[in-house]
Amino acid sequence: MCYNKAMDDEYLKDYIKKEAELEEPEQKETVPEEAQPEEEKPKKKKRLFGFSKDDEQDEPEQEETEPEEEQPEEEKPKKKKKRKFGFSNVLIILYLLAHIAYTAWMFTDNWVHALLWLFVTIVELAVFSVIMKTQKKVYLLGRFLSLIFILVLLFNTAFSAFMLFTCEDRNTDGADYLLVMGFGLEDNQMTEILTLRCDKAIEYMQKNPQSTAVLCGGITKGSNISEAAAMKRYMQKAGIAERRLIVEDSSTNTETNISYAKKLITSGSKIVVVSSDYHIHRIRQVCRKAGLAVKGVPANTPYLQLPDKLMWEKIKLIRLLMSN
């Protein structure tokens, strides 16, 4: 057998081609595998101003959660503001408005008394402003102070009511002596309050003809006659006999009214006192101090003058209790 070199070369070429064909699919399969990570890596590494696309997708989620955390913080102060003004503050404001209106009216009636009312109003407004400032800083403490303020007002009102409702005594008929308390004159003329006292005394003496009236009251500023003389003249015009009227014209206040009148009556007598309703409570205290047992017959007081008279009467009553 002879050796053919040409056939061997052809056989090698075919063999090389077959091996090349077998290696090409392996390269084609491996190239995508190598290319895929290369293509995916830049996608992960692509960033815009230091943020990846994944970060950009997470940002809206953060924005949605942030407002949810802030909402309760904004609602809390609103709830506090709603409870800063209570019903007790409304009552105090209504009281202060009434107080200011009455003070303004007092300047048309008695400017001297109006100055005291003005002073009291200023003090009350200052106290209320302190209460409101305290409520803004310490709410519960401010509410506590407002309640104390209301309790003081209620106590003042209750004591005034007590003075008015306990001024009239029972079994006052058949008195031996009737003490009629005076009140200041204006240009030698009786004021409305003094006139009402005298009317009450006249009514009592007409029902009790055995009673003798002791008219108490000296000369006041701006007048030439005493209160007792003015009352005697008024009661005589009403039909009361002069023999039933005793004049005590040296006293200048309630304490001297009682002490001087005591010298004009016999001991052991039944005594009744006629005065304004707001005045009876203090007269009882003065008479008890002087050793006299008396019963009160009150005369009405004009409604607009009653708050002023009650305030002054309580001041005088405190001074009387302190002197004891």
* The dihedral sign for the CA sequence 148, 150, 151, 155: positive
Lowest mean pLDDT among 10-19, 47-56, 145-154, 169-178: 47-56
Is 79 contained in some domain? no
CA dihedral 20, 21, 25, 31 (to 10 degrees): 30
Mean pLDDT of 51-71: 49
Residue 81 lies in a domain: no
pLDDT reported for residue 83: 56
In this structure, the answer to whether residues 181 and 161 fall within a common structural domain is: no
Average pLDDT over the chain reads 82
Q: Quick one: which of 184, 217, 200 has its CA closest to 110? A: 184
Q: What is the pLDDT of residue 74?
A: 53
- Greater confidence (74 vs 150) lies with 150
Residue 186 pairs with which residues in a beta bridge? 189
Indicate whether 282 pLDDT > 60: yes
Same domain membership, residue 316 and residue 193: yes
Distance between CA atoms of residues 154 and 151, nearest Å: 5
Decide the pairing of beta strands 47-48 and 294-299.
unpaired
Provide the phi-psi class of 168: left if phi over 0, else alpha when psi is between -120 and 50, else beta. Answer: beta
Average pLDDT over residues 128-132: 90
Q: Residue 268's pLDDT is what?
A: 84
Q: Do 155 and 210 fall into the same domain? A: no
Type of residue numbered 120: V
Residues 154 and 224 in one domain: no
70 occurs within a structural domain: no
Residue 236 has pLDDT above 80, yes or no: yes
Q: Which of 213, 206, 253 is nearest to 231 (CA)?
A: 213
What is the C-alpha separation between 178 and 206, in angstroms, rounded? 12
Q: Over the Cα atoms of the chain, what is R_g?
A: 51
Type of residue found at 195: T
Per-residue model confidence (pLDDT) at position 127: 92
Distance CA(64)–CA(49), nearest Å, equals 22
Entry pTM: 0.70
Give 321 or 32, the one with higher predicted confidence: 321
Total of domains in the chain:
3
Rounded Cα gap, residues 55 and 51, in angstroms: 6
Q: Which structure tokens are listed for 63?
A: 């924005």
Domain assignment of residue 225, given as a range: 177-323
Please say whether the dihedral angle defined by the alpha carbons of residues 54, 59, 61 and 65, taken in this order, is positive or negative. Answer: positive
Instruction: Give the pLDDT mean for 264-286.
Output: 93
Q: Is residue 303 in a domain?
A: yes
199, 95: one domain: no
187 and 99 belong to one structural domain: no
Helix (H) or strand (E) segment spanning residue 275:
strand 271-276
Q: Quote the pLDDT of residue 273.
A: 96
- pLDDT at position 24 is 58
Amino acid at 156: N
Is 233 part of any domain? yes
187 and 141 both lie in a single domain: no
pLDDT of residue 6: 58
Per-residue confidence (pLDDT) for residue 82, from 0 to 100: 53
**Distance between CA 147 and CA 255 in Å, rounded?**
38
Q: Tell me how crowded residue 220 is: count the other CB atoms within 10 A of its CB.
A: 17
Q: What is the mean pLDDT of residues 117-121?
A: 93
Residues 122 and 213 in one domain: no
Residue 78 resides in a domain: no
Question: pLDDT at residue 56 above 60?
Answer: no
More confident position, 38 or 202? 202
Residues 131, 153 within the same domain: yes
Burial 25-45 (b: 16+ CB within 10 A, else e): eeeeeeeeeeeeeeeeeeeee
- What pLDDT score was predicted for residue 96? 92
* Residue 74 maps to a domain: no
Q: Provide the sign of the torsion angle of the four alpha carbons 79, 84, 88, 91, taken in this order.
A: negative
pLDDT of residue 267: 83
Asked if the structure places residue 55 within a domain, the reply is yes
If asked whether residues 133 and 251 sit together in one domain, one would say: no
Alpha-carbon gap, residue 202 to 235, rounded angstroms = 7
Q: Which helix (H) or strand (E) holds 245?
A: strand 245-248
Same domain for 155 and 202: no
Element spanning 299, H or E = strand 294-299
